[in-house]
Chains A and B, each alone.
Chain A
Amino acid sequence: QKEVEQDPGPLSVPEGAIVSLNCTYSNSAFQYFMWYRQYSRKGPELLMYTYSSGNKEDGRFTAQVDKSSKYISLFIRDSQPSDSATYLCAIFPSGSARQLTFGSGTQLTVLP
């Protein structure tokens, strides 16, 4: 079993839709949670970073962490064609970013 499982997609939605991207993890030692957006042939860009259970909102993006279920989500409201990219979840335990573990990514396409 992989330490981080991510829905692979691909996911295709119409412009304006609410998008839900999800990851599950197996190691309860993981304490820090991130979402990256990666456009084709580019490096990942950090979208959200959180270390607590609950919701964190930034504009159209909301990161949700449920440590009891070992489940993290990224919601995108009012999705735009420019949101079309691969989204990677990443997690690591306290004090050890070298153990940063990535999901395999979900490819999202927002259709105009």
Chain B
Amino acid sequence: DGGITQSPKYLFRKEGQNVTLSCEQNLNHDAMYWYRQDPGQGLRLIYYSQIVNDFQKGDIAEGYSVSREKKESFPLTVTSAQKNPTAFYLCASSIDENTEAFFGQGTRLTVV
């Protein structure tokens, strides 16, 4: 089955720890995105990547980092510098920048 797989589904982190969220796609899409969703708010773009080994900051990149070493994979690291990391994180991909985005099932991160 083609799709976007995010793991884990739920993640708990202690304050001060870094944590990495996984996103893998087998759709052969060039573009990949990370969004954050908070209750009552729309999705906000954290980082995006148009091609391998290239990525750009989105609107709320502070406290986050990414890598794009393979076309299929776009992991997101939430660092201890992110002051309010508890949220629902969504990964998406699209064929290119002119096409619709498809989403994974999300990772709910809770800082305890």
Contacts and interface: CB of A to CB of B under 8 A. Distances in A.
Interface residues of A, number: 26
B90 A43 contact: yes
Interface residues of B, number: 28
A97 interface: yes
Interface string B48-71: 101000001010000000000000
Given A88-B43, A104-B40, A96 B97 contact: yes
A14 B48 CA distance: 40
A97 B58 contact: no
Interface of B: 4, 6, 31, 33, 40-43, 45, 48, 50, 56, 58, 88, 90, 94, 96-106, 108
Given A97-B101, A100-B101, 8 more contacts: A43-B6, A44-B103, A97-B96, A97-B99, A98-B48, A102-B43, A104-B40, A104-B41
Interface of A: 4, 6, 8, 32, 34, 36, 41-46, 49, 88, 90, 94-98, 100-105
